[in-house]
Structure 1
Amino acid sequence: MVRLLLLLVVVFGMVFWFLRPPPRPLPTEGVRLKGVEFYLFPEEEAVEWRFTAQEMVEE
Structure 2
Amino acid sequence: MDSNKPHFVSSAFKKDEEYIHWLQKVKEQYRSSQAKAAMRVNDAMTSSIGSSVMTLWI
Shorter-chain TM-score tier: 0.3 to 0.5
With the length of structure 2 as denominator, give the TM-score of the two structures: 0.39
Higher RCO, 1 or 2 (CA under 8 Å, sep at least 6)?
1
Higher helix share: 2
